[in-house]
Structure 1
Amino acid sequence: MSTASITRTWEILPARGYSTAWVDFAPDSLSARGRAVGLLPEPYWVSYELETTGGYVTTRLGVSVETATSTESLELRHDGEGRWTVNGAERPDLDGALDCDLGLCPLTNTMPVLRHALHRKPGPGPELFTMAWVSVPELTVSLNRQTYTHLARAEHGARIRYRSGDFQSDIEVDDRGMVLDYPSLATALTR
């Protein structure tokens, strides 16, 4: 994959909102910034910056959320050795996670897809991931286990089954591993 810059906007269904990401892809990493607006559970704005290192491993996610009554921010960092901090405080409960997963943000599905080339070919079976999951708009961080399984090649990429707990959805991604359609969560408006 060559170096490229992509802008993608999604309609975010559960929040009755929209999210836009500006992503710079390098051969083995990406950096991005994004903005989102949602109406549910109350109107809010989200701004974020995401950085990854080799293998698309998250190194930093900075997020701020503004509502009518407050502005909150979060700084999530991964040291490259498997340890995380949240706003400077060590979080051993997140140890072992390689990725962040920002709630209602389709962009953060990209890193595990790219790391295992799930958008290009079937793997040996389901790929299991441990994520540092960030809820929106609350900005709480918790450990979340997820499974991604390549189902089939599609016209513009692939279909991948996402599973976390009892939730499951068959996601369509493009040739860069970015979400095009995530039933019940998001639909890309720009490609």
Structure 2
Amino acid sequence: MTFLDLPSVASWRHVGARTGFEVAYFTADHGGRRVAGVTTATEGSQSWIVDYVIDVDQSWLTRSARITGRTEGVTRTIVIEADGMGHWQIDGVPAPHLRGCLDLDLEASAVTNTFPVHRLSLPIGHAAAAPAAYVRAVGLAVDHLEQTYSRASEQVYDYAAPAFDFACSLTYDQHGLILDYPGIATRVQ
């Protein structure tokens, strides 16, 4: 399936695990795409804000990201760069623990689940591993996250992240943007 071009803006309401909101803007940029957004939430007793600018190339491989997180009066910014072949740097320092990751996944965001779905272009009934550089909302720690996507139907992908003992079915729209991420987010625009 080929997805339609991305809209200029999309937004999600955090539901279940946290309460909050995310807004992302999409622009074509040098043969790829730029996703700029902000997500805010309260989870348990902690509130946070994460601003991000993520660049993906024409194949939907993450190439760079600038992420700023704020929580409890502390602000931190990190810059992540990738060569599109599984090698990463964080703030200019090689990050060998991320070797093999092709996607960036923000804990704070529903939009980053768009990247592997577009990149993989899975036919219905097929599955693929999609290891990601996983950025935590609080503190912006970056870990290697093993995850898989399996295309169940035209708009539904089964998603699993074994490290979190988490699996669900994600529903996407005709643009390849999440409509429903059970327990995490629901699309509102």
Do Structure 1 and Structure 2 share a fold, with TM-score over 0.5? yes
Counterpart contact for 1:3–1:24, Cα < 8 Å:
no
State yes or no: 1:148 paired with 2:149.
Answer: yes
Partner SS for 1:39: strand
Shift of 1:23: 1.3
Write the distance in 2 (CA, Å) between the matches of 1:169 and 1:49. Answer: 27
Q: Which runs of 5 or more structure 2 residues have no equivalent in the other structure?
A: none
Shift of 1:88: 1.3
State yes or no: 1:64 paired with 2:42.
Answer: no
Give the alignment's Cα RMSD to 1 decimal.
2.0
Greater than 3 Å deviation, 4+ residue runs: 1-5
Give the counterpart of 2:33 among 20, 30, 39. 30
Write the distance in 2 (CA, Å) between the matches of 1:181 and 1:81. Answer: 30
Q: How many residues align?
A: 183
TM normalised by structure 1 equals 0.88
Shift of 1:2: 6.7
1:8 is aligned to 10
Note the alpha carbon deviations across 1:11-50, whole angstroms, 9 max, x for none: 1122211011111257x73211001111224222211000
Counterpart contact for 2:66–2:78, Cα < 8 Å:
yes
Counterpart contact for 1:29–1:57, Cα < 8 Å:
no
Q: Which runs of 5 or more structure 1 residues have no equivalent in the other structure?
A: none
TM normalised by structure 2 equals 0.89
**Structure possessing the higher relative contact order (Cα contacts under 8 Å, 6 or more residues apart):** 2
Shift of 1:180: 0.5
Counterpart contact for 2:39–2:108, Cα < 8 Å:
no
2:127 is aligned to 126
Partner SS for 2:59: helix
Counterpart contact for 1:4–1:25, Cα < 8 Å:
no
Write the distance in 1 (CA, Å) between the matches of 2:149 and 2:90. Answer: 26
Note the alpha carbon deviations across 1:136-169, whole angstroms, 9 max, x for none: 122000101111011112xxxx011000102101
State yes or no: 1:53 paired with 2:57.
Answer: yes
Shift of 1:60: 0.7
